[in-house]
Structure 1
Amino acid sequence: MPATPQTRGVVLVVEDEPAIVDVLALNLKAAGYGVAVARDGAAALTLTRSIRPSALILDIGLPTIDGIEVCRRLRASGDWTPILFVTARDDEVDRVLGLELGADDYVTKPFSPREVVARLTGVLRRVRGVPSGTTLLRHGELAVDLTSHRVEVSGREVALTATEFALLAHLMRRPGVVFTREQLLSDVWGYATTAGARTVDVHVAQVRGKLGHASPIRTVRSVGYAAERPRGAADPHGGGGLAQDGS
């Protein structure tokens, strides 16, 4: 299905259930998004390459090629279009595997269409967010450009998803400050839920895996995560205690 006119970018809905397509398209259009539709995984890969959507809402259970494999192939080809997974099962294995492959977020069926639009908007906000103040963050060999969303380790570019980038930048903006998982869900993802705490752990593991020894993220046992201060840097937050305002 061709894309409709849009004001906030085109979203490719990859879903084989017509009723779900219809309700998602209705809500996305009402929120100002253009909508294109693919009914199976093969069509999703073709459309993603041809129309260059702003994001994908990607069902896991698809004909021909499932959503996990669609995500795998896109990421393997260097395509980092934001992906919001939809799964019919509340199966942590599916969700974690999707996040490990490079999905930005997920929802489970049955879902509220408004929640899907809100989650999608949150992902795109992380892609398009305009930074204020310092636009280049450094930690040893790691350089994070908040304007171009470019991450480099010793001059070599490292590809992060929109959510991985937002998480890393959020921690590095306040080095030494410890954030709970719930704070990170609220600050980075835009929602707070104890059921989603595992999502934070998976994304932190992904960032660490991609950055290797250059990762500044440390685990504070039984609390959450923090970015280490660059060696020799003063502590601007009075000892790096638990962040109270999450900013």
Structure 2
Amino acid sequence: MIIEPGHHSTFEFLGLTFNTDTLIGTGAAGSIVLGAGLHMARHASAGRPSKLQLLFETFVEWVQHQVAEQMGVRAPRGVVQLGVTTFAFLLIANWLAALPTESVVPSPTADVNLVYPMALLVIIWVHVVSIRSKGVRGYFRHFREPYAFLALNEFVIQYFGRPVSLALRLWGNMFAGGLMVMVVGRLPAYVLWLPTAAWKLFDMFIGLLQALIFTVLMIIYFGEAVADGEETSR
């Protein structure tokens, strides 16, 4: 087997090229999250909660705590739900790399064609919240602070630096993790099980860490947008 980093099976539709493996991985991760959510909601109980319900409630409380620390009562509607959904999807998507079916259902977060749109969606939503919080004039006034000659620099950071760094941080770690699993898979069969198992456990830990980092940074960006709006309104 030849290792081809960044290689994807593709198909064309309406003149556009789609990565088949990324679509399969994204659909699988989304289906798992949706299925687990529907199952938990259907069987949720206040008296005897299941392990899945306890795990979900624990994480929701953690997200709510992070949002409260960053935004307090000023948290815009939907941020907690976005944080929970984003983390759950990224965690499952990252952990797909640990499955034996990685060649068929790979981790979609190892493809920049997924992580860039996700980061861009977050940044666009952050700016929409910022405009709603401080108005159009206050929003553009923010770029001139603390000095007007730094407006272009602030614009580049807000619209290009943040989405690129947010996406590359996630993609780079998941791409490298998947690549290392493939490299370890080339070891002799009599020692294959030990390094593969150890590396996949480490890869799952990195996947959890990256999902947490992405979610926390997203919440921080929303917090900054709301905080700036409060300062502007004074």
Does the alignment reach a TM-score above 0.5? Answer: no
Which structure has the higher relative contact order (CA within 8 Å, separation 6+)?
Answer: 2
TM-score, normalised via structure 2 length = 0.26
TM-score, normalised via structure 1 length = 0.25
Structure richer in strand, relative to its length: 1
Structure richer in helix, relative to its length: 2
Larger radius of gyration: 2
